[in-house]
Structure 1
Amino acid sequence: MRFGVLGPLEVRTSGGEPVHVPEARIRTLLAALLVHRGHAVSVDRLADVLWGDAPPAGAVRTLRSKVSLLRRVLEDAEPGGHDLIESRPSAYLLRADGDAVDAGRFETLLRRAYGITGDPRAKARLLGEAVGLWRGTAAFAEHADEEFARAEARRLEEQRLAAMEELAVARLDLGEHAAVAAELGGLVAAHPLRERLRHAHVRALYLAGRQDEALAGLAELRERLRDDLGLDPGPDLARLHEAILRQDPALTPAPAPDPDAPDAAGFADGTGARARGD
């Protein structure tokens, strides 16, 4: 069974068939277990999530019936689904390894990408795959503003934004200046005070031949930081501003190596193709 939380709550069988989870409270129960996936959630906590300050009479018994219904939905969708929800003393736990939840796959891809140095193509591929798992801009979308999911939704959203910033830098190193400049415009408008995001956008504008817009972006950020936070831009942005003014060649990355081009590690065979060691 696979679960999706990087957007609206989603359940699919291992074969990819969608699973309908009926009733809003059953979906909320599943969301609460997914927020704490792999960890037991107390009955009291789950009752608070479902009913807040107005629990029904016999709340524990009613919660047990909701868990039974959720187990039945999962079992009907795929044999063994019932066992994904374990009963613990006064608690329940959803067994879902990292690969079973899209948020877990997302974080695994990020760890792999952040471990890469010197290969922007490989880094961009992994980051693009990670960001592509999102089905919107809010994790736990229908529950993102509820107390039980708010912190986890914000944590995942911060990781998404950081991944998009890192992806933009990798794509700039690959020479995708115009595309990155165009694609980051909306993200910058939505998050105007994120300095690393603005750095990538300004650099992309400059490398795409739009120097006036790049400088205007820096000026706008400087004004907003001072008006909203009483701060000046950080040293990285100050250095970028100076480099743009003097048109520093260091702003233009060296071409990334072509993975299909011959290199010193391979020898050409008689047809001109690179010999492979495998």
Structure 2
Amino acid sequence: MAALQHREQLIDAVWEERPPAKPRQALHTYVSGLRAVLEPRRGAGQPPAVLRRVAAGYRLDLAPDAVDSGRLASLVRTAGTAAARGCPDEALECAERALALWCGPAFADVGTARFVQSEVGRLTELRTTAREIVLAARLARGEHHLTAAAGEELTADNPLRESAWALRALALHRAGRSAEAVAVLGAARRVLREELGVGPGPELARLTAQILAGDGRALHAATAAAGPR
């Protein structure tokens, strides 16, 4: 990853409408501290190789897998590819490795700052996708009871995510709890109508009909296809 930011952009991002009295000096202090963290073995007088001064700003030169966010994205991509190939064991391993990198809310200390909002959203979406891949992989492996319990947590955290509701309902049905699966799908419909003013999408509607009809072949196909899009 190579990201270039001008000093004025950084000052505006960090302090927004309330910069310190001497913003460039304050920025330089922060940059110096960050360099010490990024290159702890850099000797006195050696030029920085990671966070470098370029023209009127600073450039951060790091390989994508040098930071947790890059590793997270790579592992989620690999997990999604494995799931699409029908390899639930590989998908599960990669998705769980991705989730193990998560140590709490993204940018927890500065999560309300404007400059991190898009990145917070991106990382949170990656985490949710990894959680869905785990559920879909466990469902494909026949771990229906585990998937049902995890699906309840996922829908509580993401009540507007239809794919999460579908995974939870499928897990309940395949665990022999079809009445609960139907109730879950009804809850999904109510949430979507109350929060978004819309009914469920075609996949959720089709899943409801299949569970009510006891369409085993269609439900097996639905299980194989369940998960993030």
- Which structure has the highest helix share of the two? 2
Query: What CA distance in whole angstroms lies between the structure 2 residues aligned with 1:125 and 1:58?
Result: 49
Q: TM-score, normalised by structure 2?
A: 0.86
Aligned residue number for residue 267 of structure 1: none
* Regions of 4+ moved over 6 Å: none
Q: Which amino acid aligns with 1:54?
A: R
Does 2:215 match 1:248?
yes
Q: Which amino acid aligns with 1:143?
A: V
Give the structure with higher Rg (CA): 1
**CA separation of 1:52/1:169 partners in 2, compared to 1, >3 Å: closer, same or farther?**
same
**CA shift at 1:242, angstroms?**
1.2
| Deviation larger for 55-64 or 198-207 | 55-64
Query: What CA distance in whole angstroms lies between the structure 1 residues aligned with 2:116 and 2:106?
Result: 9
Does 2:189 match 1:222?
yes
Aligned residue number for residue 108 of structure 2: 141
**CA separation of 1:170/1:48 partners in 2, compared to 1, >3 Å: closer, same or farther?**
same
Query: What CA distance in whole angstroms lies between the structure 2 residues aligned with 1:72 and 1:192?
Result: 42
Residues 188 and 198 of structure 1 are in contact (CA less than 8 Å); yes or no, is this contact kept in structure 2? Answer: yes
Query: What CA distance in whole angstroms lies between the structure 2 residues aligned with 1:120 and 1:183?
Result: 17
Residues 88 and 137 of structure 2 are in contact (CA less than 8 Å); yes or no, is this contact kept in structure 1? Answer: yes
**CA shift at 1:73, angstroms?**
4.4
Aligned residue number for residue 151 of structure 2: 184
Aligned residue number for residue 212 of structure 1: 179
Q: For residues 27-42 of structure 1, what are the structure 2 equivalents within 5 Å?
A: 38-42=2-6
1:169 to 112, 126, 136: 136
**CA separation of 1:226/1:56 partners in 2, compared to 1, >3 Å: closer, same or farther?**
closer
Q: Which amino acid aligns with 1:146?
A: A
Aligned residue number for residue 52 of structure 2: 86
Query: What CA distance in whole angstroms lies between the structure 1 residues aligned with 2:175 and 2:80?
Result: 26
**CA separation of 1:249/1:160 partners in 2, compared to 1, >3 Å: closer, same or farther?**
same
Does 2:10 match 1:65?
no
Residues 72 and 82 of structure 1 are in contact (CA less than 8 Å); yes or no, is this contact kept in structure 2? Answer: no
- CA deviations 1:1-49 (Å, max 9, x no partner) are xxxxxxxxxxxxxxxxxxxxxxxxxxxxxxxxxxxx5211110011113
**CA shift at 1:66, angstroms?**
2.7
**Root-mean-square deviation (Å):** 2.1
Query: What CA distance in whole angstroms lies between the structure 1 residues aligned with 2:88 and 2:115?
Result: 38
**CA shift at 1:82, angstroms?**
4.2
Aligned residue number for residue 101 of structure 1: 67
Aligned residue number for residue 88 of structure 2: 120
**CA separation of 1:64/1:122 partners in 2, compared to 1, >3 Å: closer, same or farther?**
same
Q: Which amino acid aligns with 1:41?
A: Q
Query: What CA distance in whole angstroms lies between the structure 2 residues aligned with 1:241 and 1:72?
Result: 56
Count of residues in correspondence between the two structures: 216
Q: Which amino acid aligns with 1:121?
A: D
Residues 79 and 133 of structure 2 are in contact (CA less than 8 Å); yes or no, is this contact kept in structure 1? Answer: no
Aligned residue number for residue 159 of structure 1: 126
Q: Which runs of 5+ in 2 are unaligned?
A: 225-229
State the SS of the aligned residue for 1:115.
helix
- CA deviations 1:73-121 (Å, max 9, x no partner) are 444x334794321111111122221121011011111222222302121
State the SS of the aligned residue for 1:145.
coil
Q: TM-score, normalised by structure 1?
A: 0.72
**CA shift at 1:153, angstroms?**
0.6
Residues 76 and 129 of structure 2 are in contact (CA less than 8 Å); yes or no, is this contact kept in structure 1? Answer: no
Does 2:165 match 1:201?
no
Query: What CA distance in whole angstroms lies between the structure 1 residues aligned with 2:200 and 2:23?
Result: 53
Aligned residue number for residue 270 of structure 1: none
Aligned residue number for residue 110 of structure 1: 76
Residues 144 and 172 of structure 2 are in contact (CA less than 8 Å); yes or no, is this contact kept in structure 1? Answer: yes
